[in-house]
Amino acid sequence: MNDMTLYLVIALVPLAGSLIAGLFGNKIGRAGAHTVTILGVAVSAVLSAYVLWGFIDGSRAKFDENVYTWLTMGGLDFSVGFLVDTMTAMMMVVVTGVSLMVHIYTIGYMHDEKVGYQRFFSYISLFTFSMLMLIMSNNFIQLFFGWEAVGLVSYLLIGFYFKRPSATFANLKAFLINRVGDFGFLLGIGLVLAYFGGSLRYQDVFAYLPNVQTATIQLFPGVEWSLITVTCLLLFVGAMGKSAQFPLHVWLPDSMEGPTPISALIHAATMVTAGLFMVSRMSPIYEMSSTALSVIMVIGAITALFMGFLGVIQNDIKRVVAYSTLSQLGYMTVALGASAYSVAMFHVMTHAFFKALLFLAAGSAIIGMHHDQDMRHMGNLKKYMPITWLTMLIGNLSLIGTPFFSGFYSKDSIIEAAKYSTLPGSGFAYFAVLASVFVTAFYAFRQYFMVFHGEEKWRSLPEHHDDHHGEEHHGLGKNDNPHESPLVVTLPLILLAIPSVIIGYVAIEPMLYGDFFKDVIFVNIDAHPTMHIMKEEFHGALAMVSHSLHSPVLYLAIAGVLSAWLLYVKLPHLPAKIAQAFRPVYVLFENKYYLDALYFNVFAKGTRALGTFFWKVGDTAIIDNGIVNGSAKLVGAIAAQVRKVQTGFIYTYAAAMVFGVLVLLGMTFWGLFR
């Protein structure tokens, strides 16, 4: 098949599986639904790997063509098209590969679901299609379509348990927060259309950039702003929403209300990487604005450090991994701000594997605990769930940047990029990502020790207890033991553990310092020399490990692990005393810096109060009662008085006529004798 047909098959086969499972789920049954969706995603994954291998061995060239014209308006063509290069191919493999593992895993995780099984498989396959359309787009219109589609499907998946109030609140929260980001994103696209040559196709926009390099725009009368900077910042507002950057991050921890498989899919390979991918794709534009890059770097640094702090106090096993995702997204954003786009995309790839592994391993532990997610009810699961224990250990070792593991190569490269950056804010960013190393190691192994080591805490619990949703779950009884998950759950864990160990070592040199992203990512070396300096300092993957022995990063990670071991294995009574001693800080973390309260009480309630005011005063009082009903009442009142003149007596009408004649005569004589 030709290239166009190949890319259409990759994108559309998951959509076909989604439609069959969604529309005909009752007819084909549960087995039919998961078979058709897994088959569709598997075809996409295999073909995506074939495409990537073609780029690696040099047999495949960049593809940039339109499929069809969707709309023509005033000389503007809005088309659907594909841009497939090395970055697209890498993301296609990550998205379809992780999605395939999630699909297989879901069979075991959702086995006991009485309703919604086919619907769930339809949703996650549709999610895969949406993300493929986003990353394969060659223009802003199709990018925005995929952007909104993943947002819509995430809304459906987070609220999968729609009868649960907390789930409906969480999906609405995610939807509304992303609308804030998407508003900025849409404004940025509007500026591109208005000022960048009247085209939304990437290649046309990039070719037009020299014409607007020094252009300015007035956002306020008399104040000139750089057009490039404003456009970059507005586009990044969209990325802040999708990739959960401070302060638009608040939706992502609540997305844990959805089933664990979708948590892995959203947090690892799909929705949260959309913003990072978009900024990397737009590198020719962002390289023209150091101001925008500085803002991006500082926001990423704040997210990396302060979201990591929140992970330290979480007791829900999934929320620990969720805050870890927020922190790692901050790392990636710091790399973008340092003009190390290839490093950011490298961490996107490695993170997709080990974070999907962590989520699915957490889900396996939840299955073993009879769907109890509270880590305070766990302990010593290593004895009963050895595969889950080992795979989660591998995921955590990669997460904290242990030498030779995948996360080590990508995470340390981000820290180096922040170190060598000369942009304003780079000093703070370097401090933040360095401090986050200790924080990450601490909360990752706090979770690991609480779940897999120590006392078997469920034996001291009542027979029934509430989970974090306030719904009754049986959990494990005092005399029950957890059990290892079935093969359909553990096989994806094993398959994800392999790239979590080796992919960083294999890919670092070609992706960061080779030609993998040549002609895909553009960096102005003269203005932003970070990658040039890093290339000079790089002497191979093995040398990077030996260099880590002289870096504070490794020792901060070790300190974090040892601190977690000391507090949660050797001295488990101490954390409660520390929390009490630092009560104000603990309360601040527990309330998530009060951002939720701010948004709810100021913005949500404030908007409702403003709407109520306009409704009662503007609509009801002024328009309805004043203008509409008031005018009707005025006419009625006048008519009521005029009606009294109509008496029905002849003498009344005669008197009126005589009076009228007298008035006319009076006016006539007045005119004659004046």
pLDDT tens profile 492-546: 999 999 999 999 999 999 999 988 998 899 998 888 999 999 999 888 889 999 9
Half-sphere exposure of 194 (CA within 13 A, CB side): 11
Cα separation values, 546 from 114, 373, 535, 551, Å: 53, 39, 17, 9
Judge whether residue 473 has pLDDT over 60. Answer: no
- List CB contacts of 219: < 8 A, sequence separation 6 or more: 225, 230
- With both helix axes pointing from N to C terminus, report the angle between 227-242 and 274-281 in degrees, rounded to the nearest 10: 160
Judge whether residue 51 has pLDDT over 60. Answer: yes
Question: CA gyration radius for the chain?
Answer: 31
Concatenating the DSSP letter of every residue in 46-60 gives HHHHHHHHHHHTT--
pLDDT of residue 269: 55
Q: How confident is the model at residue 470 (pLDDT cuts 50, 70, 90)?
A: very low
By the 8 A CB rule, do 395 and 500 touch?
Answer: yes
pLDDT of residue 357: 92
Question: Angle CA(253)–CA(256)–CA(259) in degrees, nearest 5?
Answer: 165
CA torsion sign for 543, 546, 550, 556 is positive
Cα separation values, 508 from 257, 497, 641, Å: 35, 18, 91
Tokens linked to 15? 């959509």
Q: How far apart are CA 331 and CA 266, in angstroms?
A: 18
How far apart are the two ends of the chain, measured CA to CA in Å? 104
pLDDT of residue 466: 46
Residue 340: alpha-carbon gap to chain centroid: 21
Tokens linked to 234? 């507005």
Q: How confident is the model at residue 463 (pLDDT cuts 50, 70, 90)?
A: low
Q: What is the mean pLDDT of residues 410-425?
A: 93
Q: How confident is the model at residue 270 (pLDDT cuts 50, 70, 90)?
A: low
0.75 exceeded by the pTM?
yes
Q: What is the mean pLDDT of residues 226-246?
A: 92
Is the model more confident about 112 or about 418?
Answer: 418
Judge whether residue 472 has pLDDT over 50. Answer: no
Concatenating the DSSP letter of every residue in 68-130 gives EEEEEETTEEEEEEEEESHHHHHHHHHHHHHHHHHHHHHHHHTTT-SS-HHHHHHHHHHHHHH
Q: How far apart are CA 485 and CA 283, in angstroms?
A: 44
Map residue 551 onto helix, strand or coil: coil
pLDDT of residue 91: 92
Judge whether residue 77 has pLDDT over 90. Answer: no
Q: What is the mean pLDDT of residues 10-23?
A: 93
Judge whether residue 252 has pLDDT over 60. Answer: yes
Tokens linked to 225? 């702003």
Q: How large a percentage of the chain has pLDDT more than 70?
A: 97
Judge whether residue 474 has pLDDT over 60. Answer: no
Tokens linked to 575? 């954390």
607 membership: H or E segment, kind and range: helix 605-613
Q: How far apart are CA 291 and CA 342, in angstroms?
A: 20
> pLDDT tens digit string along 24-43?
988 898 889 999 999 999 99
By the 8 A CB rule, do 317 and 366 touch?
Answer: yes
Determine which of 111-115, 194-198, 339-343 has the lowest per-residue pLDDT on average: 111-115
Judge whether residue 471 has pLDDT over 50. Answer: no
Summary mean pLDDT of the chain: 89
pLDDT of residue 271: 76
pLDDT of residue 645: 78
pLDDT of residue 467: 45
pLDDT of residue 259: 83
Q: How far apart are CA 271 and CA 152, in angstroms?
A: 11
By the 8 A CB rule, do 315 and 568 touch?
Answer: no
Is the model more confident about 393 or about 255?
Answer: 393
Q: How confident is the model at residue 477 (pLDDT cuts 50, 70, 90)?
A: low
Judge whether residue 415 has pLDDT over 90. Answer: yes
